[in-house]
Structure 1
Amino acid sequence: MSDKCWNEIGYMGDRSCPELEVYTHCFHCPVFARAGQSLLDREPQQDYLEENSRTIAEVKTQETAETSGAVVFRISREWLGLPSKVFSGILDVRTIRSVPHKSGRIFKGIATVHGQLVPVVSVRELLGLDPEHLSEEEKGFRVFRRHICVDRGAGRWIFGADEVLGVTRYRRDLLLDAPATVAKAPAAMTKGLFDLGEKRVSLLSHEMFFEALNRSVK
């Protein structure tokens, strides 16, 4: 297999690699891990120390800009983000059991995570987003639907995402103001926008997000 298969048939390529069914992302694949280890084991170049010193100096000048982590995921056409501090894990799609007189459009029911019952909600319905949509370009890729588990400290919640990119960092001072509406989501729940490659991500306020989750089961 090519040493750079992740760019060809892996998650960053056409996603035709059969190992994605097992590992879901190249980051978890032993081929990717071996390639990374080989970089660490190689002999440093003669000018490595000088170049590394310059790099560290440049990074220090940039550390005054505060950065934060966010979990980025897609629901329908919208790329959304939540602070990584409330992120609990990415799960395979769980079986949802409805709750009599409670389950409905937003609150879907409960699912089992490590032996515990966790409420499941539809963020798509919570934010009023369109049904799942794949463009012609996206249909050529493997897209794995997942459940995301979040926890602010008062109990976990699960919701479905059409695609999960994982954790990324953003500059808080570079957040863009949200327009009057972000798709159909209320702007009040969006702290700001940031760009991730060609994607524009709506960063949600986790305080308002969890408040809306709590209201969904009342």
Structure 2
Amino acid sequence: MNQSTPADGCWSRIGVTGDGSCELLTEHVHCRNCGHYGTAAQRNLGREVDDAYLREWAEHFRAPESAAEQAGASAVAFRIGAEWLALPTGMLVRVAPHVLPHRVPHRGSRGLRGIVNIGGQLHPCIALADLLGIDVDGGSERVGRHTFARLLLVRWEERAYALPVADLHGIVRYAPARVQPPAATINKGVQRFLSGVVTEHDMRIGLLDAGLVGHQLARALR
């Protein structure tokens, strides 16, 4: 967009984006904490704009999104080991704090860790790491954010399952036309459960096929 900002400010000459010689930096540390910077921001927001600028933005927002840009699907993204994965948002019931499951006597099905209490109800705790062959010791915390293990309570065919995850990113929205095929380098155990891969910021997230995963969850209780 072509509309210019107010005249060059002191922050770009003697402030944090300049030579740093401003005496007020000793007190304020950063220009954004200074009253001069705040006044300039208010003046910038209150400036008059010309007709060409208004027309340019009007054309920008009037243009229809292409089919490839319409984010008509969503999934809840989480990390297990080093793998960022996602399940359709419609499967998610709730997010709960991570708790240790209680073992179920005489039940040793693959993936079944036990039962957990979520909201006063008992649910089977199924480890996707076991079902998908993921090393839970892999991966690391993302820089600049706190990482907390969670339990995702998901529903498949009238039954709810608690899935332990190492980190929760949240809901991602994406255009189905932009879903990419899984890379050949992805863990083979995971790859066969993926319907595709989407990019979210610096992450590549594997979209799990709800039907295939749901079948494995139900199978773990047999």
Could you state the TM-score of these two structures normalised by the residue count of structure 1? 0.69
**Once the two structures are superposed, what CA deviation does each residue of 1:116-137 show, in whole Å capped at 9, x if it has no partner?**
11110111111001122344x7
**Which residue of 1 is the match for residue 82 of structure 2?**
77
CA 108–44 in structure 1, closer or farther in 2 if over 3 Å, else same: farther
**Once the two structures are superposed, what CA deviation does each residue of 1:84-136 show, in whole Å capped at 9, x if it has no partner?**
1111121101231111111454101111122211110111111001122344x
Q: Retained in 2: the 8 A contact 1:129–1:184?
A: no
Whether 1:199 and 2:203 are equivalent positions in the alignment is yes
CA distance in 2 between counterparts of 1:207 and 1:118 reads 20
**Once the two structures are superposed, what CA deviation does each residue of 1:37-84 show, in whole Å capped at 9, x if it has no partner?**
xxxxx98986897676444313x3336755200101111111001111
Q: C-alpha displacement at 1:165, in angstroms?
A: 0.3
Count residues with an aligned counterpart.
Answer: 175
Matching residue's letter, 2:216: A
CA 56–141 in structure 1, closer or farther in 2 if over 3 Å, else same: closer
CA 152–53 in structure 1, closer or farther in 2 if over 3 Å, else same: farther
CA distance in 1 between counterparts of 2:128 and 2:118 reads 19
CA 43–163 in structure 1, closer or farther in 2 if over 3 Å, else same: farther
Whether 1:185 and 2:189 are equivalent positions in the alignment is yes
CA distance in 2 between counterparts of 1:197 and 1:145 reads 21
Whether 1:131 and 2:136 are equivalent positions in the alignment is yes
Structure 2 stretches of 5 or more lacking a match? 1-44
Q: Retained in 1: the 8 A contact 2:194–2:207?
A: yes
CA 118–50 in structure 1, closer or farther in 2 if over 3 Å, else same: farther
Matching residue's letter, 1:96: P
3-state SS, counterpart of residue 62 of structure 1: coil
CA distance in 2 between counterparts of 1:45 and 1:102 reads 71
Q: Give the percent of matched residue pairs that are identical in Structure 1 and Structure 2.
A: 26
**Which residue of 1 is the match for residue 98 of structure 2?**
93
Could you state the TM-score of these two structures normalised by the residue count of structure 2? 0.68
**Which residue of 2 is the match for residue 168 of structure 1?**
172
CA 188–134 in structure 1, closer or farther in 2 if over 3 Å, else same: closer
3-state SS, counterpart of residue 192 of structure 2: helix
CA distance in 1 between counterparts of 2:131 and 2:213 reads 9
CA distance in 1 between counterparts of 2:47 and 2:155 reads 43
Q: Retained in 2: the 8 A contact 1:86–1:152?
A: yes
**Which residue of 1 is the match for residue 218 of structure 2?**
214
Moved more, 164-173 or 46-55: 46-55
Q: Which residue of the other structure, out of 146, 151, 156, is the alignment partner of 2:150?
A: 146
CA 52–129 in structure 1, closer or farther in 2 if over 3 Å, else same: same
CA 54–165 in structure 1, closer or farther in 2 if over 3 Å, else same: same
Moved more, 75-84 or 62-71: 62-71
